[in-house]
A and B are shown apart, each in its own frame.
Chain A
Amino acid sequence: MAEAIHIEGLVKSFGRTRALDGLDLTVRTGEVHGFLGPNGAGKSTTIRILLGLLRSDGGSARLLGGDPWRDPTELHRRLAYVPGDVTLWPNLTGGEVIDLLGRLRGGLNQKRKKALLERFDLDPRKKGRTYSKGNRQKVALIAALASEVELLLLDEPTAGLDPLMEAVFNECITEELHDGRTVLLSSHILSEVETLCDRVTIIRKGRAVESGTLDELRHLTRTSISAELAAPPNGLSALDGVHALMVDGNRVHFEVDTSELDAALKQLTSAGVRSLTSRPPTLEELFLRHYQDELNGEEAAR
């Protein structure tokens, strides 16, 4: 099976809020897929539908070749889930929770559990009510990573972890990859996604706005250019991929889509270039742009 998750036109409303509005998402078997989006974009909702906890209002969602709403228990044996908000039972110890969740899923590798407890530096004998937020997160992570499943659904798994533990987490996920598992990882942290993920989907307001490999996405980023020219520029503003153009006499400053970089440079050289600085594209900008649009959109709506 080439696709672990296939979602098409998924719709979910909560009363009048439309949390998902025709979402498409494909996760290939054996990849780590980053799932990005601003607060309230619908990431957790998507994952909950994939778990059969929520019922979709339209579209289709397939998971490991099955229907998550129709046959959840069979599918759940083959996946592990780490929720965004981990709450533990106050009177069960962390070790008990890890064992319990593993057993309910159909089995747990005790050797891996021990190794993970050590790597994450977690005392499994404490009661649920006495763990800090990061340690609660670790309990859920270890329960998921110690079970031998095909698919991991991780909803902001590093929220609350300190930088050291984040590094441990990254190592673990890289190892998962070697084991041939599939991971869907929702996150707000671009750097985490950049180091771990093969492909990324960015969603906004319940729709996928970008999806592809990191290289493909870089292609969507913009290079920012400042130049001093021999003569005032002409025709730059007419170019399609040029944004935020500022002209001050012979000086220009603009951003250009990576795909239009060639055309823009031709325009500059036709006017004669005296000096030129360019800043390489970063995903950060692309990412912020989608977050930014969200804010602008909301302001416009107000």
Chain B
Amino acid sequence: MSPLTGTGGLIRLILRRDRVILPIWVFWMSVMPVFTTASFRELYPDESKLAAFAQTMTDNPSLTALYGPVYSPTVGGLVAWRMSLLIVVLGIISALVVIRHTRTEEEAGRRELIGATVIGRHAGMAAALIVTILADLVVGAVVALTMAASDVPVAGSVAFGVQLAAFGILFAAAAAFGAQLTEGAGSARAILLGAIGVTFVLRMVGNLSGEDGPLHWLVQASPLGWVQELRAFADERWWVLAPVGGLAVVLIVVAVVLQGRRDIAAGLLPTRLGPANAAPGLRSPFALAWRLHRGLLLGWVIGFAVFGSLFGSLGETVNDMLEESPELAQIMAALGGANTLTDMLFGTLFGLMGLIASTYAIQAALRWRAEETNLRAEPVLATAVGRVSYALSHIVFSLLGSGLAVMVGGLGAGIVQGTIAGDAGHWVPRLLGAAAIQLPAVWMLSALTVALIGLAPNASSLSWGALGAIFVISFFGPILGLEQWVLDISPFTHLPKLPGGEVTAAPLLWLGGVLVALLLAGLAGFRRRDVI
């Protein structure tokens, strides 16, 4: 049997398992650049406007940090510049997909099950890599074709597609390597995300230091820097593909060698032994819950910090639009001042942030239920821990954790927008307020989950259904022309519109009332019911 026997079957298995998510990400990654091309072309119809825009962007160091330098003040060049984060995102997705189909499978013991059938040693890794690399190539090809078709230089379009695909493939390879190192998929993911974070920061610091700066060499130390130095639309330097491709090949070869040497499910880095005794603080249900929730919470807080800062950086684009187009500025002035458009944008973005934070709120609350169904709640409840404090130890994370994530997002947005606009004292409290106002609605989903766990534990995952319905109402409600009472089902409908809007107490009070009632009902239910 060759080490690759069965690869085809495993590829089909992956395609079947990912039949929904794979087309979704390939589609979105592929179409973002061409959409942006269209909108840039509309916003900056002639060369002088483009040049002016490019100049403002270049003058702004925080934008250089985020996106890198503008290499070419043309439509294509600016799109490639603005979409450079897409390269990072594709790298992240590719890495996660490969780990999902290699180490996660092994950790869950499914690989052992499959390994016992007629499947070669490297077939699993090969299948995961083939699917991911093909998907990356599709993204690159579609991007190149669609951009070229929208009248920007062909060479640049191809170069940008290649940048995307190359970084995706590089991190697919890196993930194949990383998946060999650890026993747990969680640690493998952490290693990969950390590596991408490092490449990003190196590139960022290098670019901030300027073309002739003392730290510019850091760009060359970062694989993201290599890819960026291809310089789409600005005299492409195709030779940078050699080191990128070379590194990818080396990573895959090393991964194959490592996989050939180790046992199934074992890692290369030894699983570290932990402490033989518990830390003095590990003596309450809350301390236990902290151990169980902290990783997830940390991930969300970091995510929201990044997310918020990105949002903050978008605020100024709107002002640029106003500067470029006096007609629009006039309309906005009539509507209530130049700030209205920025405020509307932030209102929408924070609404989105609230919806996303609700995912965490539900996820954290459901952890409590998962502890119960995995029989880990039982030994704790058989000690002197009361049911209410046990429940609260998890609920606290759902409430305060989502609160923390949202506020960090607001703070990030406030700082970035404040720095760009040169008025942090104004923007930080304003955007913190806009973030905070989402919380009553976010917490409603915590409270709903708590009520379900207490009163109808077998139906507790219905809270995902509720969140799905709220998503639909928020995004499509107005378009579909749904009746007001349907829109009213979503707690987000009732929130005051911040920033800029007025805060009235009434909706907050009754949202708070329903929230408390749901929480109390859930706790009372949990006190009275059987613990499985």
> Is B374 within 8 A of A87, CB to CB?
yes
Stretch of A22-30, A124-132, A274-282 that contacts chain B? A124-132
Contact with A along B259-292 (1 / 0, CB 8 A): 0000000000001011111110011110110011
For window 55-94 of chain A, which residues contact chain B by CB distance below 8 Å?
55, 72-74, 76-77, 79, 81, 83, 85-93
Interface positions of B from 370 to 397, Cβ below 8 Å from A = 374-376, 378-386
Distance A98 CA – B282 CA, assembled complex (angstroms) = 11
Shortest CB distance A33–B (Å): 18
Binary A-proximity of B506-531 (CB < 8 A = 1, otherwise 0): 00000000000000000000001111
Interface locus among A100-108, A172-180, A253-261: A100-108
**A104 & B384 in contact (Cβ 8 Å cutoff):** yes
Contact A89 B276 (CB under 8 A): no
- Residue A185, interface by CB 8 Å: no
By the criterion CB–CB under 8 Å, are A127 and B530 in contact? Answer: no
Chain B residues contacting A81 (CB-CB under 8 Å) are 379, 382
B184 touches A (CB below 8 Å): yes
A138 to B475, CA, bound (A): 53
| A54-B530, A92-B291, A104-B285 as given contacts; A124 in contact with B386, CB under 8 Å | no
CB-CB contacts below 8 Å: A128-142 with B: 129-130, 140
- B375–A91 CB distance below 8 A: no
- Residue in contact with B292 in the complex, picked from A88, A89, A99, CB distance below 8 Å: A89
- If A100-B283, A103-B282 touch, whether A73 touches B385 (CB-CB below 8 Å) is yes
On whether the beta carbons of B382 and A99 are closer than 8 Å, the reply is no
Instruction: Answer whether residue A198 sits at the interface, using C-beta atoms and an 8 A cutoff.
Output: no
Q: What is the CB-to-nearest-CB distance from A198 to chain B, in angstroms, rounded to a whole number?
A: 24
Q: Report chain A residues within 8 Å CB of B379.
A: 81, 83, 86, 101, 140
A150 at the interface (CB under 8 A from B): no
Alpha-carbon distance between A76 and B528 when the two chains are bound, in angstroms? 18
Q: A53-B378, A83-B378, A87-B376 are in contact. Are A96 and B384 (CB under 8 A)?
A: no
Q: Select from chain B the residue with minimum beta-carbon distance to A90.
A: B184
Asked if A55 meets B271 with Cβ closer than 8 Å, knowing A99-B278, A103-B282, the reply is no
Smallest distance from the beta carbon of B167 to chain A beta carbons, Å?
32
- Are B277 and A101 in touch, CB under 8 angstroms? no
Q: Bound complex: CA of A72 vs CA of B291, how far in Å?
A: 25
Q: Select B375's contact among A76, A77, A85, A95, beta carbons within 8 Å.
A: A85
> Shortest CB–CB separation between residue B304 and chain A, in angstroms?
23
CB distance from A159 to the nearest CB of B (A): 14
- Cβ contacts under 8 Å, B531 to chain A: 48, 53-54
- In chain B, residues 124-143, which have Cβ atoms closer than 8 Å to a Cβ of chain A? none
Verify A95–B278 contact, CB threshold 8 A.
yes
Bound form: Cα–Cα A124–B383 in Å: 21
State A74–B529 Cα separation when bound (angstroms).
Answer: 19
Question: What B residues does A140 contact at CB under 8 A?
Answer: 379
Q: Tell yes or no: A51 within 8 A of B by CB.
A: yes
Q: Are B382 and A53 in contact (CB under 8 A)?
A: yes
Please give, as numbers and ranges, the residues of chain A lying within 8 Å of B284 by CB-CB distance. Answer: 104
Which chain B residues lie closer than 8 Å to A72 at the CB level? Answer: 381, 386
Q: Which of B271, B275, B383, B386 interacts with A96 by CB under 8 Å?
A: B275
Q: Please, how many angstroms separate the alpha-carbon atoms of A77 and B374 in the complex? A: 24
Complex interface: chain B residues within 8 A of A48 (CB): 378, 531
Question: Which B residue sits closest to A105, measured CB to CB?
Answer: B383
Contact between A76 and B383 (Cβ–Cβ < 8 Å)? yes
In contact, B282 and A83 (Cβ under 8 angstroms):
no
Which of A98, A104, A127 touches B383 (beta carbons < 8 Å)?
Answer: A104
Alpha-carbon distance between A81 and B529 when the two chains are bound, in angstroms: 20
Q: Are B382 and A103 in contact (CB under 8 A)?
A: no
Q: From B531, which residue of chain A is reached at the shortest CB distance?
A: A53
Question: Chain B CB within 10 Å — which of A55, A72, A98 has the most?
Answer: A72
Whole-angstrom distance between the Cβ of A215 and the nearest chain B Cβ: 33
Determine which residue in A83, A90, A96 has the highest number of CB atoms from chain B within 10 A of its CB, and name it. A96
- A193, B516: Cα distance in complex, Å: 51
**Are B376 and A93 in contact, CB atoms less than 8 angstroms apart?**
no
| In contact, B376 and A89 (Cβ under 8 angstroms) | yes
Partner of B282, one of A51, A55, A100, A106: A100
Give complex CA distance A100, B290 in Å.
13
A residues near B380, Cβ cutoff 8 Å: 101, 104
Q: How far is the CB of B268 from chain A (nearest CB, A)?
A: 15
Instruction: Tell me the minimal C-beta distance from A140 to chain B in angstroms.
Output: 7
Which chain B positions have C-beta within 8 A of A83?
Answer: 375, 378-379, 382
Q: How many Å from the CB of A279 to the closest CB on chain B? A: 43
In the bound complex, CA of A123 to CA of B273 (Å): 9
Contact assessment for A125 and B276 in the assembled complex, using a CB-CB cutoff below 8 Å: yes
Report how far A132 CA is from B374 CA in the complex, Å: 17
Q: How far is the CA of A129 from the CA of B267 in the complex (A)?
A: 14
Min CB gap A227→B, angstroms: 54
Q: Which residue of B lies closest to A76 (CB)?
A: B384
List A contacts of B384 (CB < 8 A).
Answer: 73-74, 76-77, 104-106
- The reply to whether A100 and B278 contact each other, CB–CB distance below 8 Å, is yes
| Chain A residues closer than 8 Å to B283, beta-carbon distance | 100, 103-104
Tell me the minimal C-beta distance from A23 to chain B in angstroms: 17
Task: Kindly identify, within residues 277 to 330 of chain B, every residue whose CB is under 8 Å from any CB belonging to chain A.
Answer: 277-279, 282-285, 287-288, 291-292, 295
Question: Which B residues are in CB contact (< 8 Å) with A130?
Answer: 183, 271
Q: Report how far A193 CA is from B285 CA in the complex, Å.
A: 35
Taking a contact as CB atoms closer than 8 A, the residue among B184, B276, B292, B374 that contacts A93 in the complex is B276
Q: Shortest Cβ distance from A111 into chain B, in angstroms?
A: 13
Contacts of A53 in B (CB 8 A): 378, 381-382, 530-531
Question: Chain B 479-503, CB within 8 Å of chain A: the 1/0 string?
Answer: 0000000000000000000000000
Contacts of A126 in B (CB 8 A): 271, 273-274
| CB–CB B291/A101 < 8 A | no
Given contacts A91-B291, A105-B383, A106-B384, contact A124 B376 (CB under 8 A): no
A-B pairs with beta carbons under 8 Å apart, 29 shown: A51-B381, A51-B382, A55-B530, A73-B385, A76-B385, A81-B379, A83-B379, A88-B376, A89-B291, A89-B292, A91-B292, A93-B274, A93-B275, A95-B275, A95-B278, A96-B278, A96-B279, A99-B277, A99-B278, A100-B278, A100-B282, A104-B283, A104-B384, A106-B383, A124-B276, A126-B271, A126-B273, A129-B184, A140-B379
Q: Besides A76-B385, A93-B276, A126-B273, 17 other CB < 8 A contacts?
A: A48-B531, A53-B378, A53-B382, A53-B531, A54-B531, A55-B528, A74-B384, A81-B379, A85-B375, A89-B376, A93-B273, A96-B282, A98-B278, A100-B288, A104-B284, A104-B384, A104-B385
Residues of A whose CB lies within 8 Å of any CB of B are 48, 51, 53-55, 72-74, 76-77, 79, 81, 83, 85-93, 95-96, 98-101, 103-106, 123-127, 129-130, 140, 153
